[in-house]
Amino acid sequence: MYVNHLRLEHYRNYETLTLNHFGNVNLLIGRNAQGKTNLLESLFVLALTKSHRTTKDKELIAFGSDHAVIGAEVEKKYGTLNLELRLSQQGKRAKLNGLEQRKLSDFIGALNVVMFAPEDLEIVKGTPGIRRRFLDMEIGQVQPSYLFHLQQYQKVLVQRNNLLKQAFGAGPEMGTMLEIWNEQLAEHGVKIIKRRKQFIRKLQKWAEQIHEGITGGLEKLELSYLPSFGEAEEEDEAVLMEQFMIKLSQMKEQEIRRGMTLSGPHRDDLAFHINGNEAQVYGSQGQQRTTALSLKLAEIELIHEEIGEYPILLLDDVLSELDPYRQTQLIETFQSKVQTFITATGIESINAGRLQDASIFHVNEGQVIS
């Protein structure tokens, strides 16, 4: 897919902006704090209806405004789509070719993006919550129904936790209520777990191959799901359901004592091993960075495999952090097949020789000159 046109209104430090004439590779050049990341972020938000760097949508609206709009024309294999997302105090509204979408999940996936930013290192070395967010965002953009189960799961989880907090010393009716929540929790939880495992299995295939290429065959990267119950490889829904229900009943006393749900997809994790050693613990900074890069490049291939089109690649301030060999690997991967937007403070910081045909945009205080 290919973005032909981008329009912003009251988005971060952009009052109004219209950009056309994008190329296959687009370099956004400018000093710090001029709005380069804001531009990449706007494309990310248009794809996923959420930012990669904040959970607070109101931060996306320009200071002093009550709403923001992001619009784009995206060329896809089967035609051109006009996307529009409007953010305000009242929430988010999305339109596809002028038609208001009833659910945001019907809009997510119209544009697909892969973002690679310095903070992605945290996927490897950060907390389990960051890895779960990574899984949820990435699976959600190719499988909108995943987001439905995630939302339902979170709702049930809140209610179940509230019940557990009141449960200490309560009567038998509490046990019946808990069983009702258990079933609903497991119903949605199993769908989430199954899809995460499938995603990791498919991502593993690409990530291992790409990582081997980047490291000249010296390193073997393995991804594995770390479940809070059952075996990592189990993907059968009926088996997972049974295991989840057993786990919930085993944990009941402990959960009541602690007032929270202690197993399920909200407690699961993802592990990376390099040549058999856990990258989070034993990996050097360089190995962790390469792992994050392999993951992102693998995602590009996986999205292509799933939807039959390449996503847009957004590279925020990362080229200059990679050594020349890794820069070359990255550039060669995207140059011919993936429309790419790259931010940098100066053209000299990147291996520009390999980006001869790039379109250059200068970003200065919320204005862009091409």
* Residue whose CB is less far from ligand ATP, 68 or 123: 68
Q: How far is the CB of 92 from ligand ATP (least distance, A)?
A: 16
Q: How far is the CB of 310 from ligand ATP (least distance, A)?
A: 24
**CA atoms of 55 and 130, how far apart (whole Å):** 13
Binding mask 332-361 for ligand ATP (x = CB under 6 A): -----------x-x----------------
* Residue whose CB is less far from ligand ATP, 51 or 209: 51
Beta bridge partner(s), residue 61: 11
Residue carrying structure tokens 């786990």? 247
Going by their DSSP bridges, the two strands 312-316 and 340-344 should be labelled as parallel
Q: Which of 3, 7, 9, 13 binds ligand ATP (CB under 6 A)?
A: 13
* Residue whose CB is less far from ligand ATP, 25 or 117: 117
**CA atoms of 347 and 27, how far apart (whole Å):** 8
Segment contacting ligand ATP by CB under 6 A, of 27-35, 72-80, 171-179, 268-276:
27-35
* Cβ pair 19, 361 in contact under 8 A: yes
Binding mask 61-100 for ligand ATP (x = CB under 6 A): xxx-------------------------------------
Give the SS3 label for residue 109.
coil
Tokens of 365: 């205080």
Other beta carbons less than 10 A from residue 76's beta carbon? 15
Query: Taking the C-alpha atoms of 209, 110, 51 and 144 in order, what is their torsion angle to the nearest 10 degrees?
Result: -80
Segment contacting ligand ATP by CB under 6 A, of 60-68, 167-175, 196-204, 329-337:
60-68
* Residues in the annotated binding site for ATP: 30-37
Kind plus residue range of the DSSP H or E element containing 305: helix 285-307
Which residues of this protein are in contact with ligand ATP, per CB under 6 A? Answer: 12-13, 30, 32-38, 59, 61-63, 317, 343, 345
